[in-house]
Amino acid sequence: MDLNTLWFLLIAILYIGYFVLEGFDFGVGILLPFLGKNDTQRRTIINTIGPHWDGNEVWLITAGGATFAAFPQWYATLFSGFYLPLFLILLALIVRGVAFEFRSKDEHPLWRKSWDWAIFGGSLVPSFLWGVAFTNFIRGVPIDGNFVYVGGFFNLLNPYALLGGVVSLLGFILLGALFLALKTTGELATAAETVARRAWAPAGVALLAYVIATYFFTDVLKQLGVNPGPVPLGAPIFLLVAGYFIYNRRSGWAFTMTVLAVVSAVATIFMILYPRVLVSSIDPAYSLTIYNAASGQYTLRTMTIITLIFLPFVLAYQAWAYWVFRKRVGSKAEELHY
């Protein structure tokens, strides 16, 4: 495996990690106003992701930084091309992050309510837009011979991409509901299980439609950079199994299966892309690839060494942080730090 492929793989892993981790905390944020019947319940919900949301978001920052370092042309074309959607995502992440920290620091009901809706909107918008963005990666967007995106904003809002947005949105809601079922107790946990049951079927239908649409709207059958084998089947199968556990109220297993579904779905997208990183709808020759968008070998080698040294530590202490906060969050006021 050459270094370009290794970095493509690393970035894929970063996005997979990001969508799993921030996927459930987006879902929790979306469900906040609906599941939290009173202030204590709402605080409990926020506290389930309190210790983690910031660390989860760093997966995205690292993916962005890694893209910049390893594939500067990808970084330049993608972020300037997807200017407005990315702006909306950033705006959402800004108000959402501040909302977690500020919300419970003042008693006024209007203050708290406003930040609750900021958390809701700040979770909803990126949940939807990430699906739209990633679908456009594989569908192809107008990129000219200078690697410049020449489509407008509305070009990105095609039906197939919007379907992708619905899939990611429903998937994250399902993840969030299952996470809450695992991390809360009593009434709240039961309500979360109910949401998971209701969200499962729509998520499954949307995913199935998306898989079928992917065969029609992308060149997945024609150009296989890497043969994905059974991976594309993973997402629907894992989601189906998740349904079994959801209906048998085994939330732990249901959560695990949904995580695997997300992993398979994102992995499939990167497999369809490989060795491209952005598909040009104008001319296949204009597509950005892991070679024509890459940094030099010196930079890739240096970054590889640094990553191999430090990544294990990062993974270990983040896993440890999840271990520290493995217990369900109660509703005792002194344990609610947010």
Partner 1 sequence: MDVVALSRWQFAITSVYHFFFVPLTLGLSVLVAMMETMYVRTGNATYKRMTKFWGNLFLINFAMGVVTGIVMEFQFGMNWARYSAFVGDIFGAPLAIEALLAFFLESVFLGVWIFGWEKLSKGMHLAAIWLAALGANISALWILTANSFMQHPVGFAVENGRAVMTDFWALLGNPYLWTQFPHTVLSGFTTGAFFVLGISAYHLVRRREVDFFRRSFQMASVFGVIAIFLVILVGHSQAQRMVQFQPMKMASAEALWESEDPASFSLFTVGDEKRRADVFAIRIPALLSVLAYNQPTGLVKGINNLQAEYEQQYGPGNYVPSVITAYWSFRIMVGTGFLMMALALLALYPTLRGRPISQMPLVKFFPWVIALPYIANTVGWIFTEMGRQPWVVMGLMKTEDAYSPNVPAGAVLLTLIVFTLVYAGLMAADVYLLRKFAKAGPPAPESDKDGKAEQTPEFETAVP
Query: 72, 225, 236, 275: which one contacts partner 1 (CB under 8 A)?
Result: 72
Does 95 bind partner 1 (CB under 8 A)? Our answer is yes
Least distance CB 247 / partner 1 (angstroms): 33
**Is residue 2 involved in binding partner 1 (CB under 8 A)?**
no
Question: Any bridge partners for residue 278, and if so which?
Answer: 288
Q: How far is the CB of 61 from partner 1 (least distance, A)?
A: 5
Among 2, 34, 87, 291, binds partner 1 (CB under 8 A): 87
Q: Does 83 bind partner 1 (CB under 8 A)?
A: yes
* Strand, helix or coil for residue 219: coil
Query: Which of 73/256 has CB closer to partner 1?
Result: 73
Q: Give the Cα separation of 280 and 278 in Å (integer).
A: 6
Spatial contact of 25 and 56, defined as CB atoms under 8 Å apart: yes
Name the one range near partner 1 by CB under 8 A: 22-30, 166-174, 242-250, 303-311. 303-311
- φ, ψ for residue 16, nearest 5 deg: -60, -50
**Whose Cβ is closer to partner 1: residue 248's or residue 302's?**
302
- Site membership for partner 1, residue 9 (CB under 8 A): no
Residues 105-134 as x/- pattern, contact with partner 1 by CB under 8 A? xx----------------------------
198-206 long-range contacts, CB within 8 A, separation 24+: 199/170, 199/173, 199/174, 200/174, 200/239, 200/242, 200/243, 200/246, 201/243, 202/170, 203/167, 203/170, 203/171, 203/173, 203/174, 203/239, 204/236, 204/239, 204/240, 204/243, 206/163, 206/166, 206/167, 206/170
State in angstroms the smallest separation of the CB of 266 from partner 1.
19
- The reply on whether position 303 binds partner 1 by CB under 8 A is yes
DSSP, res 38 = S
Our finding on whether 79 is near partner 1 (CB under 8 A) is yes
- Please report the beta strands in the chain, taking only residues with DSSP state E, as ranges in sequence order: 276-278, 288-289
Q: How far from chain centre, in Å, is Cα 301?
A: 28
| CA proximity to 78, closest of 20, 143, 28 | 143
Q: Which region, judged by CB under 8 A, interacts with partner 1, from 25-33, 222-230, 232-240, 329-337?
A: 329-337
H-only helix segments in 71-185: 72-81, 83-102, 109-139, 159-183
Residue ranges that bind partner 1, judged by CB under 8 A? 47, 50-55, 57-58, 60-62, 64-73, 75-81, 83-84, 86-87, 90-91, 93-95, 97-98, 100-102, 105-106, 147-150, 153, 295-296, 298-299, 302-303, 306-307, 310-311, 314, 317-318, 321, 324-325, 334-335, 337
